Structure 1
Amino acid sequence: MLNDIYQSLDPVALTLGPLQIRWYGLAYIFGFILAGLLLVHLSRRWKLKMSEDSIYTVLMCIVLGIILGARIGYCLFYGDGYYLAHPLKILAINEGGMSFHGGLLGVLIGGFVASRITHVPFATLTDLGAVMAPLGLFLGRCANFVNGELWGGPTDLPWGVVFGGVAGNMPRHPSQLYEAVLEGLVLFAILYCLARRNPPHPRGTYIGTFLLGYGVFRFLIEFIRQPDAQIGYLLGDWFTMGQLLSLPLVVAGVALLIYARVKKLPQQGEPEGE
């Protein structure tokens, strides 16, 4: 049944003359819209003092950080030297290639810039971003499924999907959907339940939970996800690049949760007088 659904999907959502609007691009757009709505909701629920200008500034920094970080991260982590030899191809986002780990680094840099501009504590902005992130991950992984990319290894399970092309004609794990559920829906449910507390948990709690949860889920799913062909397995065919990049996230997540529990710093908005 799942294979039938996939075969009926078209990566192009809408065609307007020479312009093609793809589901992958729409996933980014809707993800940013949901992030903006959730940012407004949480800032009010947590009783943070954030002006409209500050919210727009934070969103703009997040958008730029994700797009630039995800693209540059893919070129560095998964390009296997190709983009060093063809630097102009870095700009060819329409050809695909975005990295979560690069996007995470980019959004942290963007959050730091936004913190300096708005004077909202960096840790509070990262906590807000952590609650928003799983929704974007859910949409992005669903778009990966529609595109027939980042598929899993062969399987004889009844929900295996024949992706065709480079993936061949054997049924494979729809690992994109596994990630959509775990990294997206499950992680969002956990973080949103934590975010409903008033007053909110101390600074570092939400970003720590996100990094820990994402790192664990991604590490486990990588066991059944087909590694990138240009890289394959690493360290004696034991680990994928995704697993190696996720291990530091688990460590950072645990460290941040310990930091939040020890310091117990309250969430804060803009300082008085701003």
Structure 2
Amino acid sequence: MNELPFCPAIAFPAYLNPVIVQLGPIGLHWYGLGYVIGILFAWWYGTQLLKKKTLWHNDCPPMTPEKLGDFVIWAAIGVVVGGRLGQVLFWDPYYYFTQPAEIIAVWDGGMAFHGGLIGTIIAMILFARKNHIGIWTTFDTIAAGVPVGLGIVRICNFINQELWGNVTHVSWAVCFPNDPKYLPRHPSQLYEAFMEGLVLFILLALAIFVFKALRKPGIVSGLFIFGYGVARMISEIFRVPGEDPQWFSTLMHNTGFTYGMALSLPMVLFGIYAMYRAIKYQSS
């Protein structure tokens, strides 16, 4: 095994391995476990909110905790299928269409949040209509706990040594062993874990418990979508851009506006609309 060159920053911890345990051809990966923990936490947190009737409009939760439990399978399918198809269609369609077997290799990473969001929204709409539940209140219930899962998955991105940041000389820069140049880089995955996970979760909790946002269906959903979009656009400043589509690279050449920003900007605008709609609807 070749020794790595000298790192003028923080060396990536050698004990961090993407695979937790390997049993023959089957391995338990941090990435997959992160998604499982995130979905289960959002379900548990949502049930706790549903039990607190005073948080909801007219002290009437939109569904029972048991009914939310029925949505877990729907959510898992929406997240995994939507996230993977988002990665395939938004980011690298040529590679996946020429290597179709790789499309199902979710254990190797490669899940697009924007696709996962679309998949989950579709699942929520179908679930809400099937069970005669308000779509916005369903979205609010789920969105409240999602940031925790986002933060965990970003930490898993760090463990996988993927989506690392631009070269920098800040004191907390990290050298990733899978970086061919082995240069100090922003640990942009951890920035995203902080913004999309901790900060966004706290903002939603304040909106729910201090400002009683669940009484206005759509506020929590809108704040979540808006907050993620802003956090993602900020993190893109520090993150090495992905393989942007050729048409986009040509259009935005030397502007600093990345494909990730382009996918996130509509989220910011839609989040603002959702919050405005909720406030206007409640006051009318």
CA pair 13-2 structure 1, distance change in 2 beyond 3 A = farther
Q: Which position in structure 1 is the counterpart of 2:13?
A: 6
* Deviations, residues 99-141 of structure 1 (Å, cap 9, x unaligned): 0000010000010011012211000011112211101100000
Q: Is the 8 A contact 1:162 1:172 kept in 2?
A: yes
Q: Is the 8 A contact 2:174 2:186 kept in 1?
A: yes
Structure 1: which amino acid aligns with 2:220? Y
Q: Is the counterpart of residue 20 in structure 1 residue 27 in structure 2?
A: yes
Q: Which position in structure 2 is the counterpart of 1:269?
A: none
How many equivalent pairs are there? 266
Q: Which position in structure 2 is the counterpart of 1:149?
A: 162
Q: Is the 8 A contact 1:57 1:114 kept in 2?
A: no
Q: 1:57 aligns with which of 66, 70, 86?
A: 70
Distance 2:176 2:280 in 1: 48
Q: Is the counterpart of residue 92 in structure 1 residue 105 in structure 2?
A: yes
Structure 2: which amino acid aligns with 1:184? G
Q: 1:221 aligns with which of 228, 231, 235?
A: 235
* Deviations, residues 148-167 of structure 1 (Å, cap 9, x unaligned): 00000001111111112245
Q: Is the counterpart of residue 201 in structure 1 residue 215 in structure 2?
A: yes
Q: Is the 8 A contact 1:73 1:101 kept in 2?
A: yes
Q: Is the counterpart of residue 236 in structure 1 residue 220 in structure 2?
A: no
Distance 2:242 2:10 in 1: 22
Q: 1:163 aligns with which of 152, 169, 176?
A: 176
CA pair 2-261 structure 1, distance change in 2 beyond 3 A = farther
CA pair 217-236 structure 1, distance change in 2 beyond 3 A = same
Deviates more, 1:126-135 or 1:107-116: 126-135
Deviates more, 1:214-223 or 1:161-170: 161-170
Q: Is the 8 A contact 1:80 1:230 kept in 2?
A: no
Deviation, structure 1 residue 82: 1.8
Q: Is the 8 A contact 2:11 2:176 kept in 1?
A: no
Q: Which position in structure 1 is the counterpart of 2:96?
A: 83
Deviates more, 1:59-68 or 1:234-243: 234-243
Distance 2:45 2:196 in 1: 18
Q: Which position in structure 2 is the counterpart of 1:256?
A: 274
Deviation, structure 1 residue 78: 0.6
Q: Which position in structure 1 is the counterpart of 2:5?
A: none
Distance 1:167 1:107 in 2: 36
Query: Alignment partner of 1:151: what SS?
Result: coil
Distance 1:15 1:82 in 2: 27
Distance 2:9 2:280 in 1: 47
TM-score by length of structure 1 reads 0.90
Q: Which position in structure 1 is the counterpart of 2:115?
A: 102
Deviates more, 1:180-189 or 1:224-233: 224-233
Q: Which position in structure 1 is the counterpart of 2:84?
A: 71
Q: Which runs of 5+ in 1 are unaligned?
A: 266-274
